[in-house]
């Protein structure tokens, strides 16, 4: 196993840093973070250089002997997460209870795909929890509707400049902050070097562009009869936009102008020639070449992981945690399957996500944010703000924002990179460098209330309409653009 293309990553990072800085900063956020310095080398240089005492820091926000009650829903671990993360979640709540023994905590974990539905339903009946941790695209929707309290890092003892500006954008609505980022990540690209070699490709050279992905996928399928690229196009699953948007942005397209400097989210670009070209690439792989899993329309990433481990998928966009998930799955395999899985892990390579035809590289700037609700929408009509701030402080602390993102993400609080656990993490989590090197290319989802519907329903619908032949590529893109127009104007079904 090796981390690949780091040199090239740094070179490209320098070229795009100006654009990236503009994408990751915002004028409303005071001092900005210089993202260009966040190279893997920089991360290594600061890891383990500072110590933080979480109990002491949060004790100054909410006294440790505070008596109160807290209800809390959060996007927790799911079937696609590694076991390591489950342990950290367990440790977190045990530690919180030990630190704040007089806060009666009722927490509830929900999966990525269920949380929004349940939270929306509860809010309609004024039966929400006192606080919630949501996926990054959810915050603006609820802030714009008045469900959330204003909440900034300063409210719990941290500084705004200690968080990625791009992440802070996702909690801003009309110039005010309504949450704090807990973790942020960018994905990378993984491939199976052994399959590449058997298919006649250079095993150490990943596809440089999305056009290469299409060509490689076809070559792998034609030569070996297995899927080349792990396409994901399921509806109502967060995995789909996380895997298609990098392709869309890479080709120069977008839903709006979200991948550009200072996006305004006014003009709809889903039907632009660039966007259609990105959709055409998926069509070529699924329909023309039949070089991706046929099950892509019902698959999510958790379905592709075992296929990759079984050597049936050669490459895919991958979450940083996928390596650990593969190890977990391998440990559960027996006999010949275990050996086969180990061989795949040994041949696993991580690289940067391919670029579009003009060298544009992009990835979703993902993560989660933590929020406190307004009392009128909470079950019982009251929010214990002190207890809630204790939890917010705890989760967004350098220690726990790092530990809760140990295998799958990066700490929302940038001071987490300076802790001893980051140093330990760099030594134990393979390929962390590659995902960190993708940070400069991160594009936040549009900060609009309608974004969850656009990303979870309209984008997958567009893909499915084109890939099933229900519509042509042109028609599917135009139809999706029309739907975005309707949803943003409040018209149509």
Partner 1 sequence: MNAVTDHAKSSRAGIQSENVLQRMWRQRADYLYVLPAIVVMLVVIAYPVYYTIELSFFKTPPGLQLRDKVFIGVDNYSAILSSEVFWRVTLNTVIWTLASTLIAFVLGFGAALALHRDFFGRGVLRAILIIPWVISAVAASYIWKWIYHSDFGIIGIVLVQLGIVDRPPNFIDSVGTVLPSLIVVNIWREFPFAMIMLMAGLQTVPDQLLRAAQVDGASAWQRFWHVTFPYLSGVSTVTILLLAVANFNSFIIPWIMTGGGPSNASHIWITHIYELAFGRQRWGVAAAYSVLLFIIVMTLGYFYVRALSGNERKENRA
SS3 for 389-408 is HHHHHHHCCHHHHHHCCCCC
For 396, phi and psi rounded to 5 degrees?
-95, 10
Binding site for partner 1 (CB under 8 A): 117, 120-121, 124, 144-147, 227, 233-237, 293-298, 307, 312, 449-450, 453, 456-457, 460-461, 464-465, 467-471, 487, 490, 493
Cα–Cα distance measured from residue 123 to residue 127, given in angstroms and rounded to the nearest whole number: 6
Q: What is the nearest approach in angstroms of partner 1 to the Cβ of residue 307?
A: 7
Minimum distance from residue 492 beta carbon to partner 1 (Å):
8
- Pairing relationship of beta strands 2-3 and 180-185 according to DSSP bridges: unpaired
371 vs 115: CA distance, rounded Å: 14
Give the start-end residues of each E strand in 237-365. 313-318, 348-351, 363-364
Closest to partner 1 by CB, 13 vs 293, is 293
Shortest Å distance, C-beta 468 to partner 1: 5
Looking at the Cβ atoms of 127 and 470, the one nearer to partner 1 is 470
Copy the structure tokens of residue 387.
């207890």
In angstroms, what is the minimal distance from the CB of 415 to partner 1? 35
- Count of helix runs (H) and strand runs (E) in the chain: 21, 15
Within a 13 Å sphere around the CA of 474, how many CA atoms are in the beta-carbon half? 0
Instruction: State the minimum distance, in angstroms, from the CB of residue 316 to partner 1.
Output: 14
Q: Please tell me the number of Cα atoms within 13 Å of 434 on its side-chain side.
A: 26
Kindly tell me which of 15 and 470 has the beta carbon lying closer to partner 1: 470
- CA pair distance 435, 408, nearest whole angstrom: 10
Please, which residues have CB within 8 angstroms of residue 427's CB and are 6 or more apart in sequence? none
| Residue with smaller CB distance to partner 1, 408 or 460 | 460
Is 275 exposed, middle or buried, given 0-12, 13-18 or 19+ CB atoms closer than 10 A?
A: buried
Q: Which is nearer to partner 1, 98 or 124 (CB)?
A: 124
Query: Residues 442, 166: contact at Cβ < 8 Å?
Result: yes
Tell me whether residue 99 or residue 223 sits nearer to partner 1 (CB atom): 223
Distance CA 105, CA 114 (A): 21
* Least distance CB 277 / partner 1 (angstroms): 21
The CB-of-171 to partner 1 minimum distance in angstroms stands at 17
Three-state SS for 25?
A: coil
The span from the CA of 238 to the CA of 411, in Å, is: 20
Give the nearer residue to partner 1 in terms of CB position, either 247 or 451: 451
C-alpha span between 391 and 359 (Å, rounded):
43
Closest separation between CB of residue 105 and partner 1, Å?
27
C-beta closer to partner 1: residue 68 or 306: 306
* Nearest to partner 1 of 135, 182 (CB atom): 135
Q: How far is the CB of 220 from partner 1 (least distance, A)?
A: 14
């Amino acid at each position: 196993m090796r981390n690949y293309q780091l040199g090239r990553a740094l070179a490209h990072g320098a070229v795009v840093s100006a654009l990236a800085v503009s994408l990751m900063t915002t004028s409303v956020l005071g001092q900005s973070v210089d993202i260009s310095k966040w190279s893997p080398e920089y991360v290594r240089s600061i890891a383990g250089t500072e110590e933080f005492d979480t109990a002491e820091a949060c004790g100054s926000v909410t006294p440790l002997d505070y008596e109160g009650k807290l209800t809390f829903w959060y996007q927790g671990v799911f079937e696609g997460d590694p076991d390591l993360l489950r342990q950290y979640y367990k440790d977190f709540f045990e530690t919180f209870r030990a630190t704040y023994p007089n806060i009666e905590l009722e927490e509830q974990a929900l999966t990525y795909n269920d949380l929004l539905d349940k939270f929306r339903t509860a809010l309609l009946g004024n039966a929400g929890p006192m606080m919630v941790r949501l996926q990054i695209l959810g915050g603006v929707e609820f802030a714009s509707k008045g469900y959330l309290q204003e909440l900034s890092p300063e409210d719990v003892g941290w500084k705004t400049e200690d968080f990625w500006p791009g992440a802070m954008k996702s909690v801003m609505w009309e110039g005010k902050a309504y949450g704090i980022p807990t973790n942020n990540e960018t994905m990378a690209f993984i491939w199976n070097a052994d399959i590449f070699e058997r298919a006649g490709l250079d095993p150490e050279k990943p596809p440089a562009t999305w056009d290469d992905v299409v060509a490689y996928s076809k070559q792998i399928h034609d030569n070996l009869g297995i899927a080349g690229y792990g396409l994901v196009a399921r509806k109502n699953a967060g995995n789909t936009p996380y895997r298609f948007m990098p392709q869309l942005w890479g080709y120069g397209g977008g839903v709006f102008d979200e991948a550009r400097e200072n996006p305004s989210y006014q003009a709809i670009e889903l039907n632009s020639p660039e966007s259609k070209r990105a959709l055409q690439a998926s069509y070529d792989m699924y329909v023309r070449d039949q070089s991706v899993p046929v099950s892509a329309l019902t698959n999510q990433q958790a379905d592709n992981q075992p296929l990759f481990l079984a050597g049936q998928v050669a490459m895919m966009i991958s979450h940083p945690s996928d390596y650990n998930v593969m190890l977990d799955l391998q440990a559960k395999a027996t006999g010949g399957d275990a050996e086969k899985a180990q061989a795949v892990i040994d041949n696993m390579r991580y690289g940067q996500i391919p670029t579009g035809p003009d060298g544009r590289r992009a990835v979703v700037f993902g993560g989660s944010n933590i929020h406190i609700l307004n009392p009128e929408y909470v079950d019982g009509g009251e929010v214990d703000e002190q207890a809630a701030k204790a939890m917010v402080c705890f989760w967004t602390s350098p220690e726990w924002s790092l530990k809760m993102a140990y295998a799958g993400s990066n700490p929302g609080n940038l001071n987490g990179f300076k802790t001893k656990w980051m140093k330990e993490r760099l030594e134990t989590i393979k390929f962390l460098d590659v995902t960190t090197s993708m940070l400069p290319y991160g594009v936040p989802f549009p900060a609009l209330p309608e974004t969850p519907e656009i990303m979870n329903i309209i984008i997958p619908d567009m893909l499915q309409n084109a890939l099933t032949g229900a519509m042509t590529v042109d028609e599917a893109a135009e139809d999706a653009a029309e739907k975005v127009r309707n949803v943003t104007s409040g018209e149509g079904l």
